[in-house]
Amino acid sequence: MSSPSTVLNKEEYQHGYHFPDQSIFKTRRGLDEEIIRAISGQKKEPEWMLDFRLKAYEAFRQKSMPNWGADLSRIDFDNIYYYAKPTEEQKRTWEDVPEDIKETFDRIGIPEAEKKFLAGVGAQYDSEVVYHNLKEELEKQGVVFCSPEEAVQNHPDLVRKYFGTVIPYRDNKFAALNSAVWSGGSFVYVPPGIRVDIPLQAYFRINSENFGQFERTLIIADEGSFVHYVEGCTAPVYTTDSLHSAVVEIIALEGARVRYSTIQNWSGDVYNLVTKRAFAYKNATVEWVDGNLGSKRTMKYPSVFLKEEGAHGEILSIAFAGQGQEQDTGGKVFHLADNTSSVITSKSISKDGGVSSYRGMIKVHPGRKNIRSRVVCDALLLDEKSVSNTYPYMEIASEDVTMEHEASVSKISDDQLFYLQSRGFTEEEAAAMIVNGFLDPLVKELPMEYAVELNRLIELQMEGSVG
Amino acid sequence: MLLEIKNLTASVEGKPILKGVDFSLDAGQTHAIMGPNGSGKSTLANILMGNPEYEVTGGSLLWNGTDLLGLEPHERALAGLFLSYQYPVEIPGLTVGKFLKRAAETRLEGEENLNVGSYLKEIRENMEFLEMDRNFINRYLNTGFSGGEKKRMEILQMLMFKPRLAILDETDSGLDIDALRVVSRGVNRLKGPGFSSIIITHYQRILDYVKPDRVHVLYDGRIVESGGPELVNELEKKGYEWIKKQVRGEVSHEQSVHSA
């Protein structure tokens, strides 16, 4: 245990990579009001945000753990560091990053700037220039793209109006926890009628607050605007933090369209418990593309509340569960208004005894008219030990609903493997091609470079898995 | 000798299928293996390609003098073997284009890079030659293809990979006469000193288009008759009953010798 007498310690960085002579501020293990005040103080937050955090902390203490989904009983809240901030002087250089990690980045073929960001290199990059140019471009259009910390300081009106409105701090235990200790993430505001042509990629913001375990993202797309936000990265996220609990809120005002893409690949000991929810107003569209690889347990169900007429929600979910992993993912759509439509597509892959569960909810409020919804869940099992579950909940309190639901479970067949092997591919390559083929209809929906990365990641996941 | 099979015995799920096959083939030759259903023709094809569901219980398989049984299926493919399947497998989500490109890449040597432009051109030419729609390149491999389309896809792969030995396992079955003509044209296109083929078939009709140098009759796990192209006509006239009778006759003859 680190010294309990002070809340903030300057101590050797002991986790993740070893970077000698570098220090970070971190709170002691465990959570109490004092630590929350310290986090808020570090960020020089106004009183209203501190109040929000404290109320959230109270809710976190009162809320019970979810009694469904993945087994979370081994999470020890008292043994977690809730806040760690790199010091100003901290400079990790690319040379410090272990070779095997660099090699993984190379094999995935990710851009240089992103590599360095992923490795936690907090010094200078080429991409800073890119980011600054991008930022100037965006500022001209009135688009705000910054950390939530900066937003609290510079755009308090927007933050106070929307922060915590889509996902209230008392929504669930992990949303409460995030609300109490959030740090890092993104804040995006797109003014009315503005189309942001290039996807906003989180890694452009590498020189601002680092992304952490409790990141917080808020995206507001004003009337008739469009934005595609790409979160994080597809590369392995190297962390020894055992709990990742993010909150993402999206507000798509009338006629706006927001697409949010993320593919995460956490290390195998991480509990990945994320709350993602969007409000779609009149004729607005929200699309979630959510890929989950790695982690020990993932629970993540991106949701769309179709609040006004003509709103449309789409959720594409990809899950890959390997040995010892449980991916409990899916999506939820709430049809609160007439003439609303939704599509949920889920593809899951289980291998080496991994468990993939699709958990979805379609809810149609009483008397809503002309509702359309389509849910497709396909599961692929790579061996006899692996498991796929489907929990498609539906609460439909209206007659005027067109509802489609398709589910399939398939297995890689020996015939398919042999066919490809006999064309010159190794057994591993053959299996990876079949898995990528299974995902192909979904991957087509991803931005090009993302699709390529996902394909390579699947191939990495498949290495040594067949035999 | 390109391929030399000696006293090969094999079984499927414990049941003996091949009971001592002897067979050899020189580079540049076309051999036909004919025989009634259940005689072991497909088993032989699968064993040549290394399908793990078929168990070799004895004998030897030599490829250019090296032991084929020591090679994995993909190594056999890269060494120049190709099997055109009787029932090609569907691979949903894998486009024909991506599949052919990846397959070409596995065949590159050392630092060589695939010239995607000219490779694509070659695919298109071959598709045209096989009277296939260009859009096939964007379709998922064999997925939703008709029987004839699947066979053409097999031949397209053969033309692209240019194997040293192609084994065509009942490629003619289920094909109408036009498709049969197109498929045969594909085989004939590759014919030359560096290309050999084994045409496995139940019927003679593909052999009207692809002329074999040698013809073998496989029956009950053994090659019971070998000869020149004229054997095809003889079989056509007399039918497989003739072979069956002849084999039975031989057996009774052997028995009578032993009992004497």
Q: How many CA atoms lie within 13 A of B104 on its CB side?
A: 21
Q: Specify the residue for token string 């094909």.
A: B175
Q: Is residue B170 exposed (0-12), middle (13-18) or buried (19+ Cβ within 10 Å)?
A: buried
Instruction: Give the distance from residue B82's alpha carbon to the nearest chain A alpha carbon, in angstroms.
Output: 7
Q: Which residue has the higher pLDDT, A3 or A216?
A: A216
In eight-state DSSP terms, residue A205 is G
Q: What is the CA radius of gyration of chain B?
A: 19
Tokens for A51? 């109040």
Name all contacts of B235-240 with Cβ < 8 Å and 24+ positions apart: B235/B34, B235/B204, B236/B204, B240/B35, B240/B36
Strand A144-146 with A297-300, pairing: unpaired
Mark yes or no for CB contact A436/B94 under 8 Å: yes
Strand partners of residue B81: B165
In eight-state DSSP terms, residue A202 is G
pLDDT tens-place string over residues A295-336: 889 999 999 999 999 999 999 999 999 999 999 999 999 999
Helix H or strand E segment including A219? strand A216-221
Strand partners of residue A22: none
Beta-carbon contacts of residue A91 (< 8 Å; ≥ 6 apart): A22, A122, A123
CA-to-CA distance for A240 and A90, rounded, in angstroms? 19
Whether the per-residue pLDDT at A17 is higher than 70: the answer is: no
CA-to-CA distance for A275 and A172, rounded, in angstroms? 9
Question: Cβ contacts (< 8 Å) between A422 and chain B: which residues?
Answer: 49-51, 73-74, 76-77, 83
Whether the per-residue pLDDT at A264 is higher than 50: the answer is: yes
Task: Say if CB A297 and CB A323 are below 8 A apart.
Answer: no
SS3 A163: coil
Instruction: Give the distance from residue A418's alpha carbon to the nearest chain B alpha carbon, in angstroms.
Output: 7
Whether the per-residue pLDDT at A273 is higher than 50: the answer is: yes
What average pLDDT does the structure give for chain A? 82
Mark yes or no for CB contact B91/A420 under 8 Å: yes
Tokens for B41? 């023709």
Question: Cβ contacts (< 8 Å) between A423 and chain B: which residues?
Answer: 74, 77, 99, 103, 157, 161
Question: Cβ contacts (< 8 Å) between B85 and chain A: which residues?
Answer: 419
Strand A303-306 with A271-280, pairing: parallel
Mark yes or no for CB contact B77/A421 under 8 Å: yes
Instruction: Give the distance from residue B107's alpha carbon to the nearest chain A alpha carbon, in angstroms.
Output: 8
Which of A376, A419, A454 to probe by mutation at the B interface, max B CB count within 10 Å?
A419
Task: Say if CB A282 and CB A311 are below 8 A apart.
Answer: yes
Nearest to B51 among A418, A426, A434 (CB): A418
pLDDT of residue A108: 55
Q: Which domains does chain B have, with CATH numbers?
A: 3-88+162-259 (3.40.50.300), 91-144 (no CATH)
Task: Say if CB A74 and CB A14 are below 8 A apart.
Answer: no
Instruction: Give the distance from residue B215's alpha carbon to the nearest chain A alpha carbon, in angstroms.
Output: 25
CA-to-CA distance for B249 and B247, rounded, in angstroms? 5
pLDDT of residue A237: 52
Mark yes or no for CB contact B93/A441 under 8 Å: yes
CA-to-CA distance for A207 and A199, rounded, in angstroms? 18
SS3 A408: strand
CA-to-CA distance for B81 and A323, rounded, in angstroms? 36
Beta-carbon contacts of residue B164 (< 8 Å; ≥ 6 apart): B2, B27, B79, B80, B81, B194, B195, B196
In eight-state DSSP terms, residue B88 is P
Whether the per-residue pLDDT at A274 is higher than 90: the answer is: yes
pLDDT of residue B243: 81
pLDDT tens-place string over residues B125-182: 999 999 999 899 999 999 999 999 999 999 999 999 999 999 999 998 888 888 899 8
Which of B141, B150, B165, B168 to probe by mutation at the A interface, max A CB count within 10 Å?
B141
Q: How many CA atoms lie within 13 A of A4 on its CB side?
A: 7
Question: Cβ contacts (< 8 Å) between B157 and chain A: which residues?
Answer: 423
Instruction: Give the distance from residue A378's alpha carbon to the nearest chain B alpha carbon, in angstroms.
Output: 13
Whether the per-residue pLDDT at A7 is higher than 90: the answer is: no
Closest to A180 in 3D by CA, of A40, A277, A302: A40
Question: Cβ contacts (< 8 Å) between A414 and chain B: which residues?
Answer: 52-53
User: A23-32, A155-164, A406-415: which has the minimum mean pLDDT?
Assistant: A23-32
pLDDT along chain B (260 residues), means of 10: 96 95 96 93 96 96 94 97 96 94 91 88 95 93 94 96 96 87 92 95 90 95 94 86 77 43
Tokens for A286? 């929200």
CA-to-CA distance for B155 and B160, rounded, in angstroms? 9
Task: Say if CB A265 and CB A234 are below 8 A apart.
Answer: yes
In eight-state DSSP terms, residue A81 is B
Task: Say if CB B203 and CB B171 are below 8 A apart.
Answer: no
Instruction: Give the distance from residue A95's alpha carbon to the nearest chain B alpha carbon, in angstroms.
Output: 28
pLDDT tens-place string over residues A153-167: 999 999 999 999 999
pLDDT tens-place string over residues A179-228: 999 988 889 999 999 999 877 876 544 333 344 578 899 999 999 999 99
In eight-state DSSP terms, residue A448 is H
- Residue A184: which region, alpha, beta or left (left: phi > 0; alpha: psi -120 to 50)? left
Closest to A438 in 3D by CA, of A346, A323, A332: A346
pLDDT tens-place string over residues A354-368: 999 999 999 999 999
Task: Say if CB B9 and CB B18 are below 8 A apart.
Answer: yes
Q: Which residue has the higher pLDDT, B8 or A117?
A: B8
Q: Specify the residue for token string 């591993």.
A: A428
**Residues across chain B:** 260
Closest to A114 in 3D by CA, of A132, A127, A101, A124: A127
Nearest to A437 among B49, B53, B94 (CB): B94
Question: Cβ contacts (< 8 Å) between A427 and chain B: which residues?
Answer: 72, 74
CA-to-CA distance for A368 and A309, rounded, in angstroms? 10
Backbone φ, ψ for residue B114 (5° rounding): -75, 130
CA distances to A348, B102, B206 from A430, rounded to whole Å, are 18, 11, 32
pLDDT tens-place string over residues A415-464: 999 999 999 999 989 999 999 899 887 777 776 666 776 777 777 777 65
pLDDT of residue A131: 55
SS3 B236: helix
pLDDT interval class at A294 (50, 70, 90)? confident
pLDDT of residue A191: 98
User: With a CB-CB cutoff of 8 Å, which residues 91-150 of chain B face chain A?
Assistant: 91-95, 99, 102-103, 106-107, 140
Query: For chain B, percent helix, then strand, then coil, each to nearest 5?
Result: 45, 25, 30
Q: Can you state the angle between helices B116-129 and B96-106, rounded to 10 degrees?
A: 120
